[in-house]
Amino acid sequence: MVSLSWALAALPAAALTLNLPAKVIGEERRSEVPGSYALPLAPFDGVSVPSRPVEGALDQRAFQLEAPDQTTLAVMGPLRDQVVAAGFTVLLDCDARACGGFDFRFGTEVMPEPDMHVDMGDFRFLSAEREDEAISILVSRSAFSAFVQVTRVTPAPLPDAPTEAVVDLNEVERPRSVEASPAIAAALDTVGSAVLDDLVFASGAATLSDGDYPSLAAVAAWLEANPDATIALVGHTDASGSLAANIAISEQRAEAVAQALIDLHGVDRVRIASEGVGFLAPRDTNQTEEGRQKNRRVEVIVTSTR
C-alpha cells in the first residue's frame, strides 16, 4: 500500500493532512476565495438532498488512485478515521443505497468526469464539521481505480464591497422578457427547433433555478400565436457519467422546463412532450469545460405538422 500525505492549509491553524490509501495516478483541483458549498446533511429525502450552505476558502480536489483491489469502504474507512481524529464531527456517513443513489449523486456537487468518476451503485459519502470548518469526502471506483473527492471550506475574510460605482436600480431599463428572445420564435418558424440557452439548473440536479427566463416566455408566446402547434422539450447532457444516468437526468430537466411552461405561462400540458437523450447528441466537444457547458442544454422542437 502506498500512502500520500496530502495537506490542506488554507489557514496555518487549520492545517489538515490526509493520508490517501494508495498511489495517486491523477489529480484535479479547483479553489475559490471566497467560495460557497452546499454541504450535504442527510440522504436524498424524495425531493432534494438536505444541505447547508457554507462559505469561506473553498478547496475541492479529485484523486484517481491505483487501487484495483480496494473496495470503496476500504478507501473511505481510513479517511473517515483521520477526519474524526482531527476533531471533526460527522454529519452524514452513507453508502450509495443509503445516500439515495442516483438522486443523491446528482443532488450534490461533484467534479466532472474524467477527474471524478462515480459508480451509481458503488460510492460512499461523508460530511463533517469542526467549529467553522466543513469537509466532505466522496469515494467511488471503476474497474481498476478508486476515485476520491475531498471538498473543504475554511474561514476566509470576505473582500470589501466596492464603493466607487453607484447604480440607481430604479433607473435601470429592463427589457420585456418576450422581446428579449425574438430569435426563439424565428428559429421555431424556420428550422423547427431552438436551444433554450438561458436556462439555469441547480448544480448536478434537475431543478430549474428560480429566475426570469426570456426563452420560456418566448416559447409560450410562440405557442399562443400558433394555437395548433405542439412541441417537445429535449434534454441533453455532457458525457460525464453513464448513459443511463445521463438520459435520466436529461429527461428530468426537460420535464422541469415543461412544468415551468405550464405553471408560469399557462401552456396546456397536452401541447408539450418531454424527453431526454443524455449525451447522444453533442453540439461541441466533451473534452473541454466550455464544450461540456454547451452540451448541457434543453432544446425545443416543433412536433406538429401543417
Confidence band of 1 (pLDDT split at 50, 70, 90): very low
In CATH terms, the fold of domain 4-154 is Protein Transport Mog1p; Chain A (3.40.1000)
Confidence band of 232 (pLDDT split at 50, 70, 90): very high
Asked if the model's pLDDT at residue 158 lies above 80, the reply is no
Q: Is residue 261 a contact partner of residue 220, using CB atoms and an 8 Å limit?
A: yes
For residue 238, give the nearest of 253, 258, 259 by alpha carbon: 253
Give pLDDT, residue 174: 41
Give pLDDT, residue 118: 92
Distance CA 250, CA 216 (A): 17
- Bigger pLDDT: 176 or 278? 278
Q: Is residue 128 a contact partner of residue 139, using CB atoms and an 8 Å limit?
A: no
- Bigger pLDDT: 292 or 176? 292
Which secondary-structure segment (H or E) carries 279?
Answer: none
Least confident of 52-56, 265-269, 288-292: 288-292
For the chain, the residue count is: 306
Q: Write down the CATH superfamily of domain 175-302.
A: OmpA-like domain (3.30.1330.60)
Q: Calculate mean pLDDT across residues 87-100.
A: 96
Per cent of the chain over pLDDT 70 is: 85
Q: Which three cell numbers mark 274?
A: 418531454
Residues 257-273 have pLDDT tens digits of 999 999 999 999 999 99
Q: Is residue 102 a contact partner of residue 165, using CB atoms and an 8 Å limit?
A: no
Distance CA 286, CA 246 (A): 14
- Bigger pLDDT: 55 or 207? 55
Distance CA 16, CA 88 (A): 11
Average pLDDT over the chain, rounded to an integer: 84
Give pLDDT, residue 74: 96
Residues 103-153 have pLDDT tens digits of 898 888 898 888 899 999 999 999 999 988 999 999 999 989 999 999 999
Give the per-residue SS3 of 147-199.
Answer: EEEEEEEECCCCCCCCCCCCCCHHHCCCCCCHHHCHHHHHHHHHCCEEECCCC
Residues 174-221 have pLDDT tens digits of 444 444 356 898 889 888 999 998 888 755 567 787 778 899 999 999
Four-residue CA torsion sign, 30, 18, 34, 204: positive
Give pLDDT, residue 206: 75
Confidence band of 169 (pLDDT split at 50, 70, 90): low
Give pLDDT, residue 140: 96
Asked if the model's pLDDT at residue 12 lies above 70, the reply is no
For helices 214-225 and 182-190, give the axis angle rounded to 10 degrees. 50
| Total-model pTM | 0.56
Which secondary-structure segment (H or E) carries 163?
Answer: none
Give pLDDT, residue 205: 64
Distance CA 201, CA 40 (A): 18
For residue 221, the SS3 value is helix
For 257, counting Cβ atoms within 10 Å of its Cβ (0-12 exposed, 13-18 middle, 19+ buried), the class is buried
Per cent of the chain over pLDDT 90 is: 49
For residue 62, the SS3 value is strand
Secondary structure letter of residue 100 according to DSSP: T
- Domain coordinates in residue numbering, the chain: 4-154, 175-302
Give pLDDT, residue 216: 93
